[in-house]
C-alpha cells in the first residue's frame, strides 16, 4: 500500500507540473509569422471535432461539434466569423467526429460528408456517413439558420470488429472514402470505394496500418495531391504522386509539419486553393476555441513540448 502511494506521488510530481505548463502554453499561444490565429465567434462551437473547406463558397469553412451535438453544421469564414448554422434533420446521429467536402454521385456537384463514426466504448456495429449537397451562402449576408432535410445515409461496418474512429477523408479523384481508427496502437486505415451504397450496408475494406495512435483528423487536398493526418500532438504530411492510390502514398513515411498545441485539437483541413491548412479544437478549461491557419507545411516548426517522435519505420509494401 505504501509503495502504491509513493508511486502515485511520484507520478503526480512529474505530470501535474507538465500539464500545468501545457495549459499555460495553450491559454497563451505564441505563433510565428507563418501562422495566423483567430477566435471563433460563434459560442455554440465549443466541441469542434471536424473541419472542411467549402468548394462552393469562397473563404468558408464547415465545422461541427462532436457527439449528438454534431447534428448542427456550422459555417464560418477564414477569420472565425459566424456565417450560419444548418441543422441536419437525422435523429439517428450518435457521435459526429469529422466532416469532408468534395465530389459525389452527381458530376459537378459538391457534397458534404458528415461522419457519424465515433464509438468510444466500441458498442456500435454500424456507423454512418451522411451525405448531402453543399449549401450555398450569399456573400456578405448575415449568418443564416436552415435545416438539411434531404440527404443520403451511407451505413457501413468494419470488417474486423467495432472500432472508434474520428477521421474521414475523401479522395476527390476517385471519390473513395477513407476512415482511420483512433485507439489502436497502430492506426488502421479503411476504404469505402465509390460508389458507396445507400440502400444496403457497406463493408469497409482494410488497407494498412500506420505507426501512430490517437489519430483524430485528416484531409486530402482538393486537387488530390496532399494528405494531412493529425494526432493530438502532431500533424503529418504525405505528397501523393500522379495516378497514385491513397493507400500507396500512405505506405511511405509521413513528414512532420507545423503544429502548435491546442486543447483537445481534433480538426484539420486544407485551405481553399492555398498551400496551407487550418486547425481548430474543443473549448477546454476556459481556453477558447481558435481557428489557426498555417500558411505552409514547414517541417521545422512544431511545439517541442507536444512533439511526438516522427514515424521511424516505413510501412511494408
pTM value is: 0.86
pLDDT in tens, 121-158: 999 999 999 999 999 999 989 999 999 999 999 999 99
pLDDT in tens, 68-103: 788 999 999 999 999 999 999 999 999 999 999 999
| CB crowding 204-237: b at 16 or more within 10 Å, else e | beebbbbbbebbbbbbbbbebbbbbbbbbbbbbb
Indicate if the pLDDT at residue 5 is higher than 60: no
Indicate if the pLDDT at residue 313 is higher than 60: no
Indicate if the pLDDT at residue 241 is higher than 50: yes
Indicate if the pLDDT at residue 307 is higher than 50: no
DSSP string, 270-307: EPTTSS-EEEEEB-BTTBPPEEEEESS--TT-B-GGGP
Give the span between the Cα atoms of 237 and 40, in whole angstroms.
25
Amino acid at each position: 500500500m505504501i509503495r502504491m502511494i509513493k508511486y502515485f506521488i511520484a507520478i503526480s510530481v512529474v505530470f501535474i507540473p507538465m500539464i500545468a505548463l501545457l495549459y499555460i502554453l495553450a491559454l497563451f499561444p505564441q505563433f510565428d509569422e507563418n501562422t495566423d490565429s483567430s477566435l471563433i465567434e460563434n459560442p455554440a462551437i465549443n466541441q469542434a471535432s471536424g473541419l472542411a473547406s467549402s468548394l462552393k463558397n469562397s473563404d468558408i469553412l464547415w465545422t461541427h461539434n462532436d457527439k449528438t451535438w454534431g447534428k448542427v453544421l456550422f459555417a464560418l469564414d477564414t477569420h472565425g466569423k459566424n456565417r450560419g448554422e444548418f441543422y441536419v434533420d437525422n435523429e439517428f446521429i450518435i457521435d459526429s467526429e469529422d466532416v469532408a467536402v468534395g465530389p459525389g454521385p452527381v458530376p459537378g456537384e459538391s457534397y458534404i460528408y458528415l461522419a457519424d463514426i465515433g464509438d468510444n466504448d466500441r458498442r456500435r456495429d454500424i456507423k454512418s456517413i451522411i451525405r448531402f449537397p453543399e449549401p450555398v451562402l450569399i456573400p456578405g449576408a448575415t449568418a443564416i439558420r436552415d435545416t438539411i432535410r434531404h440527404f443520403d445515409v451511407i451505413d457501413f461496418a468494419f470488417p474486423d470488429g467495432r472500432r472508434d474512429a474520428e477521421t474521414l477523408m475523401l479522395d476527390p479523384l476517385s471519390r473513395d472514402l477513407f476512415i482511420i481508427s483512433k485507439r489502436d496502437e497502430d492506426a488502421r486505415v479503411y476504404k469505402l470505394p465509390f460508389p458507396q451504397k445507400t440502400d444496403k450496408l457497406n463493408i469497409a475494406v482494410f488497407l494498412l496500418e500506420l505507426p501512430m495512435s490517437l489519430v483524430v483528423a485528416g484531409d486530402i487536398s482538393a486537387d488530390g495531391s496532399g494528405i494531412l493526418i493529425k494526432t493530438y500532438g502532431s500533424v503529418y504530411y504525405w505528397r501523393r504522386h500522379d495516378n497514385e492510390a491513397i493507400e500507396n502514398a500512405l505506405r511511405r513515411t509521413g513528414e512532420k509539419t507545423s503544429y502548435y498545441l491546442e486543447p483537445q485539437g481534433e480538426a484539420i483541413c486544407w485551405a481553399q486553393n492555398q498551400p496551407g491548412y487550418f486547425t481548430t479544437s474543443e473549448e477546454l478549461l476556459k481556453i477558447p476555441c481558435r481557428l489557426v491557419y498555417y500558411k505552409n507545411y514547414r517541417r521545422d516548426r512544431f511545439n517541442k513540448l507536444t512533439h511526438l517522435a516522427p514515424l521511424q519505420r516505413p510501412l511494408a509494401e
